Amino acid sequence: MIYLDNAATTKMFEKGVDIYKKYACQFFFNPSAGYSQAIDVRHDIDKTRQKIKDTLNAEKGNVIFTSGATESNNLAILGSKRNGKWEYVFSSGEHPSVYNVARYLENQGFIVHYVKLTENGQIDYEDLKNVVNEKTRLISIMHVSNETGAINDLSLINNIRQKYCPKALLHIDGVQAFCKIPVNVDELNIDFYTLSAHKFHGPKGVGALYARDVSCLKNIVYGGGQEEGYRSGTENVGGIMAMGYAIDNIDITKNYQYVEKLKKCMENELETVKGVNIIKTESPYILSVSFSGVNGETLMRSLQDKGVLVGIGSACSTKKAGNRVLENMGINQDKIKSHIRISFSEELSLDEIKNAGKNIIETYQYLLEKVK
């Protein structure tokens, strides 16, 4: 099997599984308990908290552990919501865990603006300037598009925020960027940054929200007051520690350079074929491509039979017709229907990429002949 859907989830590090088991079976204590064994566990999860801050280049701020990116995004947006005539700004290309919260705010009567996308998948920075104002409470923009791999310019977004709405909070969904692309939340004045462990070889069901100033937040989950009251519920200790292990064992720069070669190799394979349309984006981890005349889901299922696994977009929205992100980029319906997403990992070899590329081409040409 050649797995090319790493934007959906990644394979957990095997030693990370051992770490998880260690904290599930040996150091299984509840970190909120008062005896020394539990206090030691609490100190251990605080070490992972610090690892996240170090990776984000955050000198100050807090890390709140959650069940994953969806909860972190909800906490950042709904937890920073305030009553009054506030306005909220999102991009048209956000993940459903942000976009659907934006729709909820609209239904609650808040003024919500959706920033347009350009044809390369980035947000339209001029449009961002046009929609922000002194009433803007929150700007929420993803770092890297989970659909296309487009990287938004966080420095430019921050500059626009500082010029036009300096009191607005800035939330970045960093799920497809954390441990893959360097970020400095202090330099960029980012208030909230979302991450999810299973996107970088950690376990599913655990993530975090970085908050520069937690006083800007209100809790949206009520309970025993864990995570300083911002996210009640006993911490997923094994998941947190396995996530920390993954962070320790990822070399962002080395992996980035290697995965660049993998993506370029795949592009070189596919570009030789008529009818293949590649969306050129910055992240080496994601390649968005359409195959004229062939349904993307049909291609995906046919490749599965050959042991090549690709995606057709966000795993959180594949049951829905169309593709909101690609539509907002101005891509026509024929290309959207023939679209697949190929996403990479540093664990893949160049030979696997070449083999997968040949299988994709052969399968595409076979299906194209069948529909003629």
* Residues annotated as part of the active site: 316
User: Sheet of 192-196: strands edge to edge?
Assistant: 62-66, 207-211, 192-196, 169-173, 136-142, 87-91, 111-115
- The 3-state secondary structure of the chain, one letter per residue: CEECECCCCCCCCHHHHHHHHHHHHHCCCCCCCCCHHHHHHHHHHHHHHHHHHHHCCCCCCEEEEECCHHHHHHHHHHHCCCCCCCEEEEECCCCHHHHHHHHHHHHCCCEEEEECECCCCCECHHHHHHHCCCCEEEEEEECECCCCCCECCHHHHHHHHHHHCCCCEEEEECCCCCCCCCCCCCCCCCCEEEEEHHHCCCCCCCEEEEECCHHHCCCCCCCCCCHHHCCCCCCCHHHHHHHHHHHHCCCHHHHHHHHHHHHHHHHHHHCCCCCEEEECCCCCCEEEEEECCCCHHHHHHHHHHCCEECECCCCCCCCCCCCHHHHHCCCCHHHHHCEEEEECCCCCCHHHHHHHHHHHHHHHHHHHHHHC
Instruction: Compute CA 125 distance to the chain's CA centroid, rounded to the nearest angstrom.
Output: 21
In the chain, the amino acid numbered 11 is: K
Q: Of 263, 282, 294, 285, whose CA–CA distance to 361 is shortest?
A: 294
